[in-house]
Amino acid sequence: MNYEQKDLIFAPYGSYWRTLRKMCTSELLSNHKINSFKSLRKEELCLLIDYIKDHQEAGVVAVDLSDKVTSLIVDMTCRMVFGKKYGEKEYLDERGFKAVIQERMKLVGTPNLGDYIPQIASLDLHRVTKKMKAIAKAFDVFFEKIIDEHVRSTEENRSKYFVDVMLGFMGAEATEYRLERDTVKAILLDLIVAAIDPTATAIEWALSELIKRPRIMKKVQKELESVVGLDRMVDESDLDNLEYLEMVIKENFRFRPVSPLLVPHESVQDCTVNGFHIPNKSRIMINVWAIGRDASIWNDPDEFLPERFVGSNIEPHGRDFEILPFGSGRRACAGMQLGLTVVRLVLAQLVHCFDWELPDGILPTELDMTEEFGQVIFRAKHLLALPTYRLTYK
């Protein structure tokens, strides 16, 4: 599914990976580039807020927050990567864009017996390989169409979007990044799958924790009232002043890291860690979920308590090993800055604009928090909630 590891996430460590990583961090995911998409994020978020307001006015039906947040992140990501939205059914396949991306994410995390017993791999007993081939084909057809469209296009503003930046490097002589067509497709795939599910899922779990805990929700809303006021919406420039919201987000990453085992790593030489011998080429899983729940590091690890970060300088960026939602070191998340900005912005806006109640008289304490296992831990059941608009701003 990853173009024979020609992508960034699964490329083995070495000069090929280093060049791609440099291209992604300096040309696609730099602070400058992320800031240039600020108005796009605002437009998409305003569309969602308007949709929820209309929904509230139309009656008392709950909003499917899981679905709406995922659609928002899909739209923001597609506009940044391709320059337009691709939510429509005719793209990818008849199940629609979101469903195919989520199936791919699930397949990445599905144990495949053939990986462990190569002699039976060709039997494909659980039909995992067959499903992977079908998904790989759907993405490939989709990317071919997009690349052709962009190569033919004469639209001026195009060079801004990720696909056009990469096409500018395809076959170019005067650049250190000479990309092949397959590499462009592999990175497009990385960018959409690595951005959409982790970001949407982090927001979904944080919203669930807040709805489950009215005391913490009220405290976040009070902070928003004093920093932003009720007469306008949150702007990205407000985010640095929202200290309590920041603690809620850190606590959410500790309590529910979206990729609890990160991405599998491989040792590149024999080494010894804490007295354990790890041979070269071992597959290594880092259990960041267990680190976040370790009672020798955290008091009351099974409680969701943002206040634990008052006066603490532990940050989730990969330098403090107590909390590692983005991994650490060379292979840490390349889109951390973008992911954090979107999580902070969307969470702040949804909580600032609306009060949220559970439907059908369900009490906050009764909210079902069952997880679905995979590379990314989704909610097993969609988060449904009733909104009440709370701003004076129309």
> Judged by CB under 6 A, how many residues of this single chain contact ligand HEM?
26
C-alpha to C-alpha distance for 235 and 228, rounded to whole angstroms: 8
C-alpha to C-alpha distance for 84 and 78, rounded to whole angstroms: 6
**Pick 188 or 391: Cβ nearer ligand HEM:** 188
**Pick 234 or 343: Cβ nearer ligand HEM:** 343
Footprint of ligand HEM on residues 4-43 (CB under 6 A)? 8-9, 21, 29
**Pick 11 or 62: Cβ nearer ligand HEM:** 11
Residue 89, classified by CB atoms within 10 Å of its CB into exposed (0-12), middle (13-18) or buried (19+), is exposed
Q: Minimum Å distance from CB 236 to ligand HEM?
A: 15
Contact map string, positions 255 to 274, toward ligand HEM, x by CB under 6 A: ---xx--xx-----------
For the record, the structure tokens of 270 come out as: 């024999």
Is the separation of the CB atoms in 385 and 211 below 8 Å? yes
CB neighbours of residue 278 within 10 Å: 13
**Pick 62 or 65: Cβ nearer ligand HEM:** 65
Q: Among 34-42, 303-311, 327-335, 385-393, which window interacts with ligand HEM (CB under 6 A)?
A: 327-335
Considering only 83, 292, 306, 327, the residue that binds ligand HEM (CB under 6 A) is: 327
Footprint of ligand HEM on residues 133-192 (CB under 6 A)? 190-191
Q: Minimum Å distance from CB 87 to ligand HEM?
A: 18
Verify binding: residue 76, ligand HEM, rule CB under 6 A.
no
| Nearest residue to 252 (alpha-carbon basis) of 313, 309, 310 | 309
C-alpha to C-alpha distance for 149 and 153, rounded to whole angstroms: 6
Verify binding: residue 375, ligand HEM, rule CB under 6 A.
no
- CA 235 vs. chain centroid, Å, equals 21
Q: Among 40-48, 91-99, 106-114, 329-337, which window interacts with ligand HEM (CB under 6 A)?
A: 329-337
Considering only 69, 147, 211, 334, the residue that binds ligand HEM (CB under 6 A) is: 334
Q: Among 136-144, 153-161, 254-262, 273-281, which window interacts with ligand HEM (CB under 6 A)?
A: 254-262
Q: Minimum Å distance from CB 48 to ligand HEM?
A: 18
Footprint of ligand HEM on residues 191-220 (CB under 6 A)? 191, 194-195, 198-199, 202
Distances (CA, A) of 308 to 151, 260, 282, 296, 313: 52, 21, 36, 15, 11
| Nearest residue to 357 (alpha-carbon basis) of 248, 196, 212 | 212
Q: Which amino acid is at 197?
A: D
Q: Among 173-181, 217-225, 320-328, 379-387, which window interacts with ligand HEM (CB under 6 A)?
A: 320-328
Considering only 331, 382, 386, 389, the residue that binds ligand HEM (CB under 6 A) is: 331
C-alpha to C-alpha distance for 92 and 100, rounded to whole angstroms: 7
Q: Among 50-58, 221-229, 322-330, 356-364, which window interacts with ligand HEM (CB under 6 A)?
A: 322-330
Whether residue 46 is annotated as binding a ligand: the answer is: no
Tokens 């300096």 belong to 26
Footprint of ligand HEM on residues 113-132 (CB under 6 A)? none
Q: Minimum Å distance from CB 266 to ligand HEM?
A: 11
Is the separation of the CB atoms in 358 and 202 below 8 Å? no
| Nearest residue to 206 (alpha-carbon basis) of 77, 31, 311, 339 | 339
Q: Helix, strand, or coil here: 278? A: strand
Find all residues with CB under 8 Å of 98, minimum gap 6, and list them. Answer: 70, 71, 74, 87
Report the binding-site residues for heme: 333
Q: Which residues bind ligand HEM (CB under 6 A)?
A: 8-9, 21, 29, 190-191, 194-195, 198-199, 202, 258-259, 262-263, 325-327, 331-335, 338-339, 343
